[in-house]
Amino acid sequence: MPASSPRGLSILGSTGSVGTQTLEVAALFPERFVIHGLTAGSNVDLLAEQARRVRPQCVAIADASKAATLRDRLADTAVEVLAGADGLREVATLDAADLVMGAVVGFAGLPPVLAALRAGKDVALANKETLVVAGALVTEAQRAHGAHVLPVDSEHSAIFQCLTGEDDATVERIVLTASGGPFRTRDPKTFSAITPAEALDHPNWSMGSKITIDSATLMNKGLEVIEARWLFDLAPDAIDVLVHPQSIIHSMVAFSDGSMKAQLGVPDMKVPIQYALSYPERWPAPHERLDWTTIAALDFEPPNTDAFPCLRLAYDALRAGGTAPAVLNAANEVAVALFLDEAIGFMDIPRAVEEALQALAAPETPRDLDTLRAADAAARRHVKELLLPA
């Protein structure tokens, strides 16, 4: 039992895959956390059920048209119901919470995370799009307000754990591992026939639909490369990607003396979620252990960027800088949503991203959220016009 008082926690995106697992982890340590705020996009049923269970000070639903229903569901409780982007920002900056889990998917997760950092709160960050789109702004907000970003993505948590106790100046390069997704061994000539159901069938991880499609195109690894650049202040050339189909090694760091450190475990997001919440401590927990007797081999191969161009496009956007990462992200979000709606094919995703980058990426580094919003909106319009011509 800890001697210190419990930490105040708010969870942005509590109804999603990372959000629900964050609640599961927090429930293992009831004496360590008080949950003050929860948010969802539109899932009233689950948000109301979670609010009745954990009794936060307030909840916010991004889809304001659902707020009245949510208020009805919680009318017999003291839980305050907020709505829209302002509601999410309010939850992200509640006085009582000093730690915020950023687990909204997509660009929508950026404004509340930035608000939390600017209010001096530590952020456990799952939402990789935040760092992809606004790495410079997030880094500046951290420095200016004495806040910390704690990685939740399993690869970045692995790097973070390998770096603990090390001098950053001794890091030569990092290696982000990638499962390769469900189409690693499929003939690329058949990629245009891939259906959403096939792409949603990830071999190792159970995740939300957007990140699962990103894993199938390898855009997820590309977004992680950009995320790593900001989290660990590394040049693009110092970030490698290695396909490792078993997802046992979560990532590695190579040091200047020739040593490498790796972090290993079963693919279970509750482990990196817990590390972000417990850092700098480690807390005992009943998560599944790695059983070496069941692992026949650990395999590795280079990524195939001809078959999966999204990874190459992400490196290109990182090297180009300016608005390129924001354009890459927005184009990808729109294309993935259209693919999930069966409106476009699998290979239209990289085509749309490449087109948008060529047409729109500008070299000036965006210095504020409004510039990023404009780049995001322009890329969304462009991709819709490209893929769904009138």
Ligand X SMILES: NC(=O)c1ccc[n+]([C@@H]2O[C@H](COP(=O)([O-])OP(=O)(O)OC[C@H]3O[C@@H](n4cnc5c(N)ncnc54)[C@H](OP(=O)(O)O)[C@@H]3O)[C@@H](O)[C@H]2O)c1
Mask: binding to ligand X, 77-116, rule CB under 6 A, as x and -? Answer: -----------x--------------xxx--x--------
Q: Which one, 254 or 318, has the nearer CB to ligand X?
A: 318
Q: Which one, 9 or 269, has the nearer CB to ligand X?
A: 269
Mask: binding to ligand X, 40-79, rule CB under 6 A, as x and -? Answer: xxxx------------------x-----------------
Query: What does the alpha-carbon distance between residue 39 and residue 87 come to, in Å, rounded to a whole number?
Result: 9
- Per rule CB under 6 A, is residue 15 in the interface with ligand X? yes
Q: How far is the CB of 200 from ligand X (least distance, A)?
A: 12
Q: How far is the CB of 276 from ligand X (least distance, A)?
A: 11
Within positions 22 to 41, which residues make up the interface with ligand X, using CB under 6 A? 40-41
Q: Which one, 109 or 245, has the nearer CB to ligand X?
A: 109
Q: How far is the CB of 133 from ligand X (least distance, A)?
A: 11
By CB under 6 A, name the one of 9, 10, 18, 122 that touches ligand X. 18
- Per rule CB under 6 A, is residue 325 in the interface with ligand X? no
Mask: binding to ligand X, 187-216, rule CB under 6 A, as x and -? Answer: ------------------x-xx-xx-----
Query: What does the alpha-carbon distance between residue 136 and residue 278 come to, in Å, rounded to a whole number?
Result: 26
- Per rule CB under 6 A, is residue 153 in the interface with ligand X? yes
Q: Report CA-CA distances (Å) from 147 to 75, 241, 361, 372.
A: 35, 29, 30, 22
- Per rule CB under 6 A, is residue 251 in the interface with ligand X? no
Give yes or no for a contact between 231 and 148, defined as CB atoms under 8 angstroms apart.
no
Site stretch for ligand X (CB under 6 A), options 10-18, 139-147, 231-239, 254-262: 10-18
SS3 41: coil
- Per rule CB under 6 A, is residue 127 in the interface with ligand X? yes
Q: Phi and psi (nearest 5°) for 40?
A: -140, 170
Query: What does the alpha-carbon distance between residue 381 and residue 370 come to, in Å, rounded to a whole number?
Result: 16
Q: How far is the CB of 224 from ligand X (least distance, A)?
A: 9
Q: Which one, 129 or 348, has the nearer CB to ligand X?
A: 129
Q: Going by DSSP bridges, is the β-strand pair 33-40/7-12 parallel, antiparallel, or unpaired?
A: parallel
Q: Which one, 155 or 316, has the nearer CB to ligand X?
A: 155
Read off the amino acid at residue 112. P
Closest C-alpha among 146, 140, 86 to residue 121? 146
Q: How far is the CB of 268 from ligand X (least distance, A)?
A: 9
DSSP class per residue in 44-113 = HHHHHHHHHHH--SEEEESSGGGHHHHHHHTTTS--EEEEHHHHHHHHHT-TT-SEEEE---SGGGHHHH
SS3 255: strand
- Per rule CB under 6 A, is residue 120 in the interface with ligand X? no
- Per rule CB under 6 A, is residue 135 in the interface with ligand X? no
Tell me the CB-side half-sphere exposure of residue 62, using CA atoms within 13 A: 19
Mark out the alpha helices in 200-304 (DSSP H runs). Answer: 209-217, 219-232, 270-278
Q: How far is the CB of 287 from ligand X (least distance, A)?
A: 14
DSSP class per residue in 296-357 = -----B---TTT-HHHHHHHHHHHH-TTHHHHHHHHHHHHHHHHHTTSS-TTHHHHHHHHHH
Q: Phi and psi (nearest 5°) for 294?
A: -100, 0
By CB under 6 A, name the one of 67, 163, 269, 318 that touches ligand X. 269
CB closest to ligand X, residue no = 16
By CB under 6 A, name the one of 128, 184, 229, 250 that touches ligand X. 128
Query: What does the alpha-carbon distance between residue 247 and residue 204 come to, in Å, rounded to a whole number?
Result: 7
- Residues in binding contact with ligand X, number by CB under 6 A: 28
Residues making contact with ligand X (CB under 6 A): 13-19, 40-43, 62, 88, 103-105, 108, 126-129, 153, 205, 207-208, 210-211, 269
